[in-house]
Structures are given as C-alpha cells and as structure tokens.
Structure 1
Amino acid sequence: MVRGDSEEYTLYDEVIKKYDYKVYDVIPIRKVLILFTNKGNKILKQINYDIKHLDFISKAMEYLKKNKFLNVIEYEKNIYGNYYTKHNNKYYIVMNLIEGRECEFNNPIELKMIAEGLAKMHNASEGFRYDNNGYRYNPGTLIGNLTIKKEEIKIFKSLVSKYEKKSEFDKIFLENVDYNLKRMDESIKLLSEYQYLKACSWEDKIVLCHNDLVYHNMIIKDKEIYFIDFDYSVIDLRVHDLCNLINKVLKNFAFNFKKARFLISEYNKFYNLEEIDFQILYGMLVFPQDFYSIVKDYYKRKKMWEEETFTLRLKRKVSYKEEREDFLKEFKNYYNL
C-alpha cells in the first residue's frame, strides 16, 4: 500500500512489478519511495539523468566494491537484468536502503568518520576510468570552468546595473559583486601559479569524487559511514572533494579553521597530502563558490524558492565575509603557502 496521494504514486505498481520481490508497504520520503519487501527495505527513485550517467555510477560502485570499499549504495537489477526500469519515458532505479541516520557535522567523532571514509573511498577508486576519460573526467578543466563562472557573474553585474527597479537581492548583489570578482581572479591566478595542471598528470591524485558531500548524503550505520547519492559524482583531483566537504562543513561554523584542519588531518592519516595538494586546495577555497551559486540560482531561476528565501540566503552568505577572510589567512599561514 502506498501512503500519500495515490495519483502521485501511480507509477509504483507499473515499476515495482519489474522486480522479483513482494512489497508489503510503501512510504514516500522527500523525492523517493521507501519499499518494505520480503528481501529487505529498498528505495525507489526517479533519475533525472541519462542511462550513460547511471552506467558510470554503477560501474564506479562496482569498482569500489572490487577494491574492498563496501560503504556505498547498491543498485538492484530488475527481472530483465537492468539497473533501471523505464516507464512513461522516465527512468527509475531501486537501491538497497542503508538503515541508519544522517551524519551530524557538529559531532567531531562523525567528522572523523567522514574524513576517514572519504580518504578510503578515494584510495579504493584510484585507477577508475570510464569511456576512455571522455565522460565526467574533470582533471585539467578547473581553471577554465572558474573563468566561465567569473564571466557569468560579470554578465549578471552588467545586466542588473541597468535595472530601473532593483530588488533587495539586486542591491545586495551589486554591493558585494566587485569584492567577489576579485576573489575569483585571485583563485584563478593562484591555481595557475600552483601548477594545477601538473597535479592533474599524477594518477594517485585522480579519483572518483562524490561531489555533493552534504550531511544527508552520508549515513551512519553500525559506527561506520556510508556514502549515498552519487548523482553528481565525477573523476577529479582528491582535493576537489576535500574542498567540497570543507565548504559544506564550515558554513555551519562561521568558517572555523580548526574544523578544516581537523578534517584534513584525519584524511591525511590514509593518504599523504603533499604541498601541491594544499596549494591547489587553497586556490579552490579562495573561489567564492557560495556567492556564485546563490547568484546563479537566482538570476537563472535554477530553484523555485520565494524571493525572500533567496534574499535571506544571500544576506547570510555575504555576512561571513570577515570570517571567511580570517579562515583563508589561517589556512595559508598554517600550511606555509
């Protein structure tokens, strides 16, 4: 039985009959359905990407497990031997449900588990490649991508400056855009000086990156960390994921450098980060990704939030300016950059 709007979940019967188990109950949570079956609890999810992307993720998970890293999602094959089921021109997947709880960034024990788990996952993924590096292979692209992002912000600035009636968001954006453009320039300059491209030629630094390390994508089960939802995963430098994790954690702690140092030190116990790694990580952290993301989402209408929500989020992000500056100074001094 599906709890909720029966019309919304009409897909359930058509999709689930393609799998070889009996379903006792179904509960909608967020954008997925939790299935209670005679073969354990499952997750039914619609995917918003193509089958090649799904194949990339499934092969990456197989590669990790072959190398003894088991703490990741596991796709279920349907009765036809496929990892996906097509219904009304949409694609659905079923995964085993990891019975645990979302991690907590304010818990130092769990931060330790996250850093350790991330390092072990990276180590297990060394050597994974897909489609002769022609798909979701990002090493060498960062400087170009950051340059494009900077140009986007410059275009937004030019357009918004000409608005006759400016919203509160517009005004806050214009007050802060020049400072953030300078930070973008600095980030791009540093990455060039720190021999980013050289690092991209070293195989042990190129791994599978999760690329979306928010708290609800890391599950605590039996005192271990499990990584789920690899929808945004790519092949890239290790420090890509470390930067992503540090930014996700620190925004909840006013950019406390000690939190970043702790994460890095725990990661370092399982992979010895070198000077060039710290240099590139610093260059990445200098880039104001949080400012770029909220501005892009607002002006390109990437998210259907209320105007007030966008404005409050932008206010919060720019309010961390001094704390972020202090964090970057501490990082640079501590790692002798």
Structure 2
Amino acid sequence: MNDRAVELLEQYEIEVLRTRKGRGAIVCDTNRGCLIFREYSGSQERIELQNRLLKQIMDAGTVKVEVIIPSREGTLFVRDNEGTKYVLKTWREGRECSIQDKEECMEAVRLLARLHGCMELPADCLNLPVAFSPEKEYDKHNRELKRVRKYLQQKGQKTWFEISLRGAFDPFLEQALSVTEEWGQYQREATQGGKSGDTAKIAFCHGDYQYHNIIQDGRGWFLVNFEKCMCDNPVRDLCLLMRKLLEKNNWSISLGEELLETYEKERPLSAGSRIDLYYRLAYPEKFWKIANFYYNSGKAWIPRKNQEKLEKVIAQEKEKQHFLDQVFREVGRLR
C-alpha cells in the first residue's frame, strides 16, 4: 500500500499513534485501539451490506468480528486523489488458526456455526443482492474445463505437467458435468416441490471462511475479511473449510464426521443443506483450480508445485469418493 494513503487517516475521528505495514495494509495503533487500513475494491452497496451484517453479528454477541470505522463524514470508505478506495476496520494482532491443531479446527467450525446463526436478514429488506447460483458457477467452471481440454488436445509438444493433466482430464470433466447436472435437477425439483426453505429470512455466508481469516489473540478468536460475504447457503463456508482440512488429511472419514457433528451441535443442518454440502464437496473444485490456473498463466515455465498439486488431487480421488459414499450415504434417500 502507498504510504501516502496514511494521510487519508486524517479523515477519521481518531488519533494515530503509530503505523506499520502488515498483511498488505497499514496497521494503526490509535486512541481507539488497533485498527487496520486497507484498499477496498467493492461497491457502495456491498460495503453497506457488509456493515449491516457485521453490526448484526456484533449485536448478537456470540462471535467477535471486525467492525468498519466510518469517516468523519459518515462514509464507510474514503478515496485518494486517484479514486482508490480505502476502508478502516478494527483489528487484533494475533496468529491464524492452526490447521495442524485438531481442537483449533473444531473451534473454527463451532465459531462458523455461531456466525451463521447471526447472518440472516429479513427477506423484505431493501436492496438485497441476488442470491448466488451454484449451478451457474459450475456451468461456468465446466465451460472453462472444456476450453482447457481442447487447448491440451490441440497442443503439440507437451511438458510432463501437461501430459499428466491431459491424462487425468476426462474422468474429472465427466465428474464435473455429472455433479452439475444432478445438483441442478435436485434444485429444480426442490423448488417445484416447495422445499426451498424459509423464505421469511435470507441466509448469508462469510464467503472466504478459511484459517487466514480466523485470528486468535490473548482475548480469544476474532473473524475478519467479510468482503466476500454473499447471499448463499451457509454450507458454502462449511464446504470451503472442510475441503481444505480434508485435503490435508487424505479425506479422513472420522475427521469429516467429527467436523459435521461439531457444526451440527451448534446449528443442525436441514436435509436440503446436507444435500447441498454433498454436491459442493463432490464437485472436482481442486482439479478445476489447477486446470484454470494453468490455462490463464504463462506456460513457458510451469512451477513444480503445480505438478505436486495435480499428483495429490489424482492420488486422493479414490479416498475422496469413499469419503463421500460413507459420510453422505443418506443423500440418495434424502433426495
């Protein structure tokens, strides 16, 4: 961040004692405690929604989260001379949640369940965003996968990574298409059958719930970076957290069951949400990320890390399918 951005802090009703760089932002010691000042790329509508949800979560008092500090003029962000937007938020200096510590992972799941209990807004609220459509997102992913496969088919001399990627492509693409079709069919049937859930309230999720955004200091846990909050089934967050933990633990059935049990002790999942979670986990998201990153980046030199990620996804596929069959064996009946 440009040091000149520090001058923008004069637009806030705070006394800045000291500033330092951290996490791509400016950390500020002030008379109002530790704050963080960073660039903001979203819209006015998005930050207003974010602010509303954060206030609601704070009022509930079950989870500690960041708070957006308004400027003297009452705006939620300020601009520099070039039009770049910046937002000032409360901050705690601590460490990220350790994905190596099982109890911390379980606490992250408990926090998530409590968070979701505070992230519903009345359906008649003005200016609510359009609900996220997983089917549209995965349709887009599938088109991208087909584009990458076509590119690999037409490419002449291939690197070892490209040979490995092409060799694994067809089964993963078939899986992606199958999951998308099944999930879309279920959603249409659920809508026609009136199973879409409580329409009096609209659920929101954090949008990027991973260990980087779960901070612990001497006062406990603190959740940050709600910029990607969106109108979607809260299992979106649970899926992201579970996938990251399970990939690092070779899709352990016992770990997956314990994560789900821990979440449901705080916030039971409906049959529809369990089905939703199953399809989100079943989609080959990691393979899509690897293929899409490859296609959209320079191909003159492919990092060894990409090959390692691909090999891990291929090696874990059998364990992942076994995990889904065992942990979500009731999904067929629920449908």
Task: State the distance in 1 between where 2:198 and 2:282 align.
Answer: 23
Once the two structures are superposed, residues 120-147 of structure 1 have per-residue CA deviations (whole angstroms, 9 ceiling, x without a partner) of 1111122356975652521xx2223212
Task: State the distance in 1 between where 2:198 and 2:145 align.
Answer: 32
Partner residue, 1:72 = 65
Partner residue, 2:86 = 92
Partner residue, 2:5 = 12
**Structure 2 unaligned spans of 5+:** none
Partner residue, 1:283 = 279
Q: How well do the aligned residues superpose, as a CA RMSD in angstroms?
A: 2.6
Contact 1:136-1:235 within 8 A present in 2 as well: yes
Q: 1:165 to 1:82 in 2, by over 3 A?
A: same
Secondary structure of 2:121 counterpart: coil
Secondary structure of 2:69 counterpart: coil
Task: State the distance in 2 between where 1:116 and 1:62 align.
Answer: 20
Secondary structure of 1:46 counterpart: strand
TM-score, structure 2 normalization? 0.87
**Structure 1 unaligned spans of 5+:** 1-7
Contact 2:25-2:36 within 8 A present in 1 as well: yes
| 1:167 Cα offset (Å) | 3.0
Which residue identity lines up with residue 95 of structure 1 in the other structure? Answer: K
Which residue identity lines up with residue 48 of structure 2 in the other structure? Answer: D
1:270 maps to 2:244: no
Partner residue, 1:150 = 142
1:36 maps to 2:29: yes
Greater Cα offset, 159-168 or 129-138: 129-138
Secondary structure of 1:73 counterpart: coil
Secondary structure of 1:43 counterpart: strand
Contact 2:63-2:111 within 8 A present in 1 as well: no
Task: State the distance in 2 between where 1:272 and 1:170 align.
Answer: 43
Once the two structures are superposed, residues 18-65 of structure 1 have per-residue CA deviations (whole angstroms, 9 ceiling, x without a partner) of 122232322212311111122211111111222322222112212223
TM-score, structure 1 normalization? 0.86
Task: State the distance in 1 between where 2:201 and 2:327 align.
Answer: 21
Which of 135, 138, 146 is the matching residue for 2:129?
A: 135
For this pair of structures, how many residues does the alignment match? 326
Once the two structures are superposed, residues 180-210 of structure 1 have per-residue CA deviations (whole angstroms, 9 ceiling, x without a partner) of 1122123123324544643544348952111
Partner residue, 1:48 = 41
Which residue identity lines up with residue 206 of structure 2 in the other structure? Answer: H
Give the share of equivalent positions with the same residue, in percent.
Answer: 20
Task: State the distance in 1 between where 2:139 and 2:199 align.
Answer: 25
Which residue identity lines up with residue 143 of structure 1 in the other structure? Answer: E
Task: State the distance in 2 between where 1:19 and 1:132 align.
Answer: 28
Partner residue, 1:185 = 177
1:160 maps to 2:156: no
Which of 217, 229, 233 is the matching residue for 2:225?
A: 229
